[in-house]
Structure 1
């Protein structure tokens, strides 16, 4: 009768592995994703969210490795899962950083590079134009159900790259580093309407100053540059959500490709 209630160490390790290793990947993602890693969301809430998601998806995940949780191989699996989750989170962070880069470039050209304030969420001073685009990106991100899209991408990664004992390949990190070029490429393209309009304005102010040397370029040029820049940003705002949606969809495709690279395919 007592044998019925006997639980071996192997069974305990299997039960823990079903929830522990998926939890590590999900928690790594929540640590790196710019939306879920916001300081407005405490660590306790993130841990609870990771546990909740792990409990929901555990029954449909592929079989876990027959490895004790507390062992060198088990610790290696934990490190692999954390790195995979952090890598997926950084894909979304790169998209947000691209929008902030566009704000940095636009604000610098408008002469608002000095207009910055302390952001408690980032714990640093951020130019006001970059902060504005960052907040707009979060609103568009939520409107497009981006928070659910990235979770879907994370859960798909368990199918394309199941939990395994073998270490992940470094090719995935190389792809992630190359993908980081999106920050500068997309940032320049999104700020291009402002940069182009201000370039024409600069040429016009230069011609005016040459034609009328007595004209105070600082009294006329600075308000004109700021006004033209704000107008160009206002006119380009309706086109930005489409670019954000495109970057999110491309980020989901890149995540699948990165999982293949991690698997060594």
Structure 2
């Protein structure tokens, strides 16, 4: 008869529970695994599988009873780390969605929206198309594997039970949110600039020839030119996405290093 002591059960729980919490928190916050179409059972099962695989190579766990306030603090610590890493990738994807919003508004497609179950809000059609293209390119470039590698490497830079974080790291994460506007506008600027010139020309035309109705000419013109420019944009979007993913992964490593606790005062 096999007997399991409380000390053995404690050791097993310590070895698997806290890494599982960090990985599951990352899956919940990341744009790929955190999508509403991915069942919860799949997220939990995949997080458990990765935990079992990497558990033998993780640094030693803190000697803390599982049923204690200290253990609860360690769990919150792992949640913060996993969510922070997942938010970096979500911001990276949001930059492309913002570009779709900018372009759609300039093309006159601001009314073309539908309910997005993943975010719980109405999303522009171009924003959704850009998101799906970005997601497919992310998978094609192996970005999901590189993000998982960075997550697993975080257990070395941020071992379980570090006790405290560097507060400057969270400020760095907030500032990274500006990528949504900077990168989004960088992607949308060629189309937005061209369509703005067309709208200005139509405005001048309407003033010089009032019999020409802008609503009859402007919308088909903006939509047609916008679709042509989108086809041109798609020929070079892979280079932009590769640079965007590279910056996002580089920031993940930078964030892990920044979250490391400050050295004790002397």
Correspondence 1:248 to 2:249: no
Q: How many equivalent pairs are there?
A: 262
Q: CA deviation at 1:203?
A: 2.2
Residue 140 of structure 1 is matched in structure 2 by 137
Matched-pair contact (CA < 8 Å) for 2:162–2:261: no
**Structure 2: stretches of 5+ with no match in the other structure:** none
Q: Does 1:57 align with 2:54?
A: yes
**Residue of 20, 38, 45 corresponding to 2:35:** 38
Q: Does 2:183 correspond to 1:190?
A: no
Superposed CA RMSD: 1.7
Question: 82, 85, 91: which one pairs with 1:85?
Answer: 82
CA distance in 1, matches of 2:171, 2:7: 37
The within-5 A match list for 1:1-265 is: 9-265=6-262
1:232 shift after superposition: 1.4
**What's the secondary structure of 1:125's corresponding residue?**
strand
**CA displacement at 1:10 relative to structure 2:** 3.9
**Which deviates more from structure 2 when the two are superposed, residues 22-31 or residues 10-19?**
10-19
Determine if contact 1:77/1:167 at 8 Å carries over to the other structure: no
SS in 2 for 1:41: coil
Offset at 1:190?
Answer: 0.7
SS of residue in 2 equivalent to 1:168: coil
Deviation of 1:11 after TM superposition, in Å, equals: 3.9
Whether the aligned pair in 2 keeps the contact of 1:14 and 1:66 (CA below 8 Å) is: no
SS at match of 2:235: helix
Instruction: State the 1:35 CA deviation.
Output: 0.7
- Residue pair 1:194, 1:233 contacting (<8 A) in 2 also: yes
Question: How does the TM-score come out when normalised to structure 1?
Answer: 0.93
Compute the displacement of 1:168 (Å). Answer: 2.5
**TM superposition shift of 1:134:** 0.8
Shift of 1:6: 7.1
Where 2:114 maps in the other structure, the secondary structure is: strand
